[in-house]
Amino acid sequence: MYDIENIRKDFPILSRQVYGRPLVYLDNAATTQKPLCVLDAMRDEYLNVNANVHRGVHWMSQQATELHEAARETVRRFLHAKSVSEIVFTRGTTEGLNLVASSFSDAFMTEGDEVIVSVMEHHSNIVPWQLLAQKKSIVLKVVPMTDRGELRMDGYESLFSERTRLVSVTQVSNVLGTINPVEEIIRVAHAHGVPVMIDGAQSAPHMSIDVRQMDCDFFTFSGHKMYGPTGVGVLYGKEEWLERLPPYQGGGEMIERVSFDNTTFERPPLKFEAGTPDYIATHGLATAIDYMQALGMEDIQRHEWELTRYATERLKAVEGMRIFGEAEHKDAVVSFLVGNIHPMDMGTLLDRLGIAVRTGHHCAQPLMDRLGILGTVRASFSLYNTKEEVDALVAGIERVAKMF
Look at residues 122, 131, 134 and name the one whose alpha carbon lies nearest to residue 101: 131
Question: How do beta strands 196-199 and 164-170 pair?
Answer: parallel
Question: 175 by DSSP, 3-state: which?
Answer: coil
Q: Among this protein's residues, is 363 annotated catalytic?
A: yes
Question: 401 by DSSP, 3-state: which?
Answer: helix
Do residues 44 and 63 make contact, with C-beta atoms less than 8 angstroms apart?
no
Question: How do beta strands 376-380 and 358-360 pair?
Answer: antiparallel
Cα 376 to Cα 362: distance, rounded to the nearest angstrom: 8
**Count of other CB atoms within 10 angstroms of residue 388:** 11
Annotated active-site residue in 39, 363, 368, 374? 363
Look at residues 166, 97, 87, 155 and name the one whose alpha carbon lies nearest to residue 363: 97
SS3 content of the chain, % helix, strand, coil (to 5): 45, 20, 35
Question: 184 by DSSP, 3-state: which?
Answer: helix
Look at residues 253, 210, 218 and name the one whose alpha carbon lies nearest to residue 235: 218
Residues contacting residue 189 through CB under 8 Å, at least 6 positions apart: 116, 160, 167, 195, 196
**Count of other CB atoms within 10 angstroms of residue 364:** 26
Alpha-helical runs (H) found in 317-377: 343-352, 365-371
Residues contacting residue 87 through CB under 8 Å, at least 6 positions apart: 72, 75, 76, 79, 81, 234, 235, 236, 269
Do residues 107 and 240 make contact, with C-beta atoms less than 8 angstroms apart?
no
Going from the C-alpha of 353 to that of each of 50, 153, 299, 339, 392, the distances in angstroms are 42, 42, 30, 20, 9
Which residues form the catalytic set? 363
